[in-house]
Amino acid sequence: MNRLELPTKTKSMRAAVTPVVPPVVPPATKTKSMRAAVTPRYILWLSRVVFAFILVLPLILIFTPWVQTVNGTGRAIAFNPIYRLQFVSSPIAGRVNRVLVSEGDHVKTGQRILELVDNDPNLELRLLEMEAAVVNRVAAAAGRVREIDSRIENLRISQKVSLDIAKTFITIQQERLQAFRQELISQNATLEQSEFAATRAEELFKEKVGSRAELEIANRNFVAAKANVKASIARVSLGEQEVKAAQDTTKRVQADTDASINSESAVRRMADAEVAAADRDLLNMQVQIARQRAQYVDSPCDGTIFRVLANAEQGGIFVSNGTPLATIVPDIKPSDVTSNVPVTAAVGGAIGWQYSTLTPDSRPGIVAELMIDGNDLPLIINGDLVRLQFEGWPAVQFVAYPDAAAGTFGGRVYLVDPTANERGQFRILVEPDPAERPWPNIDLLRQGVRAQGWVILQKVTLGWELWRVLNGFPPVRPLDTLKKPSVLGPVR
């Protein structure tokens, strides 16, 4: 084929190339369904208003006032620890014979609660026999002490007599020695005179004036005088030795008698130790007997039996010393709390006596014990206002607006514990706020009722609070509020 032949366009090919133009429908020809799909004008206006409100709401909330609070949960407890739950323990080891009360019974101080019996019925008799033996030992030890005291007294009397005799003998010997010394002085004077007389007689004899007989007499007297002097010197020396011997004898008597007294004193101390040991054994025996006789367990206070832990059925259980037998909730005495204020159901929720009006010298009957996280502890000080919600009392609580809350009770922080518990939480005690309505009657607000509290801090904006929460920061308290004095409660 020498020339190119173009194919002839078919009807379908021409239809594919030719654009399809939709028919123009006049407005008057719209269907009912198409008109229903058109958005009404008031819906458009309302959506614009809602959208604008959503845009403006964050700006409004940023400047909305908000009250910061620190929340805690806990329970109602008695302010005075002696009125809190107490255990009644067994004073001896024995078997529970009878239980004389039931749970919920109200008991008085000294009222019989349980009876115990010992496993050995003859134990008390043997203890009494042992006590009698110990008493005899105490008497024997005391008698020995008295005998030793008597011997020591006799030794001291004998020492005094012996020393008096020895001192008297020393005095006698000293007087004899003085006499010997005086005699020696006299003999020395006589010797001088005899010597002078012998010399004079010899001169006279040489001069042919005196006779030989006079010379011999003078020489003989001189020799006798020298002999007397020597004898006197010997007696003086002997007297000095006798005086020294008497003094040594006195010292020996003193030492011997002191040794005897010291020996008896040592025996006396040993006897005192025996007496002390015997007295200790007697005291122990008396304690055992008293405990053995304390087979009756009485109530330590006025209160209500909360739980009976002992069982007297099937022969009774065996308990040891200190085993809890029952638990009792003591009564809170009105004399130990604030002055009584009568209120009606419109004020206090029940007709009765309330114990909530506080003075600096008063103390509340019931307080709220709340546990606070350690992260919020530095912000809480004594005197902070608290809003409380007790279990069993309907309430509507607005945390950020305490004034708008309904059914809650006002309180003030009385005590913040100085240390945390094993969970890292700190305990605070909240007492009634005298400026608020009284708390429920103590017969209704019983110990153990769960409570939830909010410690009120400062006012901030909601935007700041949201920023704080998102960043995990604790609430902030101005420094000047941390210095306000505490005026709550009687104990400081």
According to the model, what pLDDT value does residue 321 have?
Answer: 78
CB 86 within 8 Å of CB 330: yes
d(C-alpha 55, C-alpha 473), whole Å: 27
Helix extents (H) in 294-320: none
According to the model, what pLDDT value does residue 371 have?
Answer: 92
According to the model, what pLDDT value does residue 4 have?
Answer: 42
Rounded to the nearest 5 degrees, what angle is found at the Cα of 32, between the Cα atoms of 29 and 33? 120
CB 237 within 8 Å of CB 212: no
E strands of 80-172, at which residues? 86-89, 94-99, 106-107, 112-117
Backbone angles phi, psi at 426, to 5 degrees: -110, 145
Domains and CATH numbers, the chain: 68-81+333-483 (2.40.30.170), 86-119+297-330 (2.40.50.100), 123-293 (1.10.287.950)
Structural tokens at position 389: 């919600």
**Residue 416 CB neighbours (<10 A):** 15
Q: What is the DSSP letter of 101?
A: -
3-state secondary structure 351-364: CEEECCCCCCCCCC
The answer to whether the predicted template modeling score (pTM) of the entire model surpasses 0.75 is no
Residues 6+ apart with CB under 8 A from 394: 407
- Ranges of residues in the chain whose predicted pLDDT is under 70: 1-38, 119-121, 210, 291-294, 312-316, 334-363, 399-400, 404, 471-492
d(C-alpha 59, C-alpha 341), whole Å: 49
Q: What is the pLDDT of residues 455-492, one digit of tens each?
A: 888 777 777 777 777 766 666 665 454 444 444 443 33
d(C-alpha 148, C-alpha 218), whole Å: 72
According to the model, what pLDDT value does residue 370 have?
Answer: 93
d(C-alpha 86, C-alpha 303), whole Å: 10
d(C-alpha 47, C-alpha 478), whole Å: 44
Q: What is the pLDDT of residues 89-99, one digit of tens each?
A: 887 777 787 88
